Structure 1
Amino acid sequence: MGRTIIILLIIGLLATGCSKDRPRALAELEIIPVSYSEKDSNVLEVMSQQERKAIKINHHIKNKDIYVECYIPNFVYKEKGGSKKNGEGHLGIFVDGKLIDEIYTAAFILKNFPKGEHSIKVEVFHNDSSSYNLSKTWIESIK
């Protein structure tokens, strides 16, 4: 009888251990329309009709320095100049409405900020300096 209980417990644990892939709530689902074209009878080329651009920024303050990390999916940081290529470019850093620098990396430090509240904006630009119309703005308070 003791072995039967142990075997049933092991089977129960194995059955519930596979519950990692639970279905997501409907509110979390994202639907992106696609179109396709037939190259030949055996191959379909699928293309997204909606290229969604997003920027996620993590930042924190240490003393008078602001540490910033930017995540832009499918984006490559390149020096300014050259032809406009989608998915490549750089960042413009604005403080209190003024462009203070252009950055070619995903992470950077804004050093020695003066005390007070400051508006910080990170905007994404193409190689030819035209805007992706993608930016994030936040307020930092330096004490």
Structure 2
Amino acid sequence: MKRLFITITLVILLVLQTGCSEHTMAELEMPEPAEIVEKPNLDLRIEISGRNATIYVTTNMKIAKEHVGMERQYGEGHIHMYVDDGEKISVKDNKYMIQNLLPGKHKVKVSLHNNDHTPYDVAKLLDFEIK
């Protein structure tokens, strides 16, 4: 009988002890909300002159040519451009001239990238024609 009394007393003490924490269960299980980071915006404009096309890039991302290839810094980076599915062109200014294009239809893909070349997942495609 004495053993049963001691066992019941220990169980009651254990139950009471678990309720004496400084934090509620909800506080312990809820992770901190992650900071919501917006992607930079991107807009393109083109001017055609003869067989040349100048692409103007408007973005709220800081184009940081001095940090290309360095550590990621949110809000800055550089531009990757692809003309007619060709090789990547790393653009470090808000305008780029494509020269000596052949007459016909062309397309340019422009995407925004962090300093370390990881994408912001922001891209636009621009179709145009050289006459």
Shift of 1:99: 2.6
1:19 maps to what in 2? none
Is there any run of 5+ residues in structure 1 with no aligned partner, and where?
1-47
Number of equivalent positions: 96
Asked if the contact 1:55/1:135 (under 8 Å) is kept, the reply is yes
Match in the other structure for 1:57? 44
Which AA in structure 2 matches 1:132? Y
> Greater relative contact order (Cα 8 A, min sep 6): structure 1 or 2?
2
Aligned letter for 1:72? T
Distance 2:83 2:115 in 1: 22
Residue by residue over 1:11-57, the C-alpha shift from the partner in whole angstroms, topping out at 9 and shown as x without a partner, is xxxxxxxxxxxxxxxxxxxxxxxxxxxxxxxxxxxxx8452421011
1:86 pairs, out of 74, 89, 113, with 74
When normalised by structure 1's length, the TM-score is 0.61
Unaligned 5+ residue runs, structure 2?
1-34
- Looking at structure 1, the residues matched to 62 and 76 of structure 2 have their Cα atoms a distance apart, in angstroms, of 6
TM-score normalised per structure 2: 0.66
Kindly indicate which of the two structures has a greater share of residues assigned to strand.
Answer: 1
Q: Give 1:130 deviation, angstroms.
A: 0.9
Is structure 2 residue 99 aligned with structure 1 residue 141?
no
Change (3 A) 1:134 1:102: same
CA distance in 1, matches of 2:63, 2:91: 12
Q: Which structure has the bigger radius of gyration?
A: 2
Q: How do 1:1-143 and structure 2 match up within 5 A?
A: 49=36, 51-79=38-66, 80-143=68-131
Moved over 3 A (4+): none
Distance 1:88 1:141, change over 3 A: same
Higher helix content, 1 or 2? 2
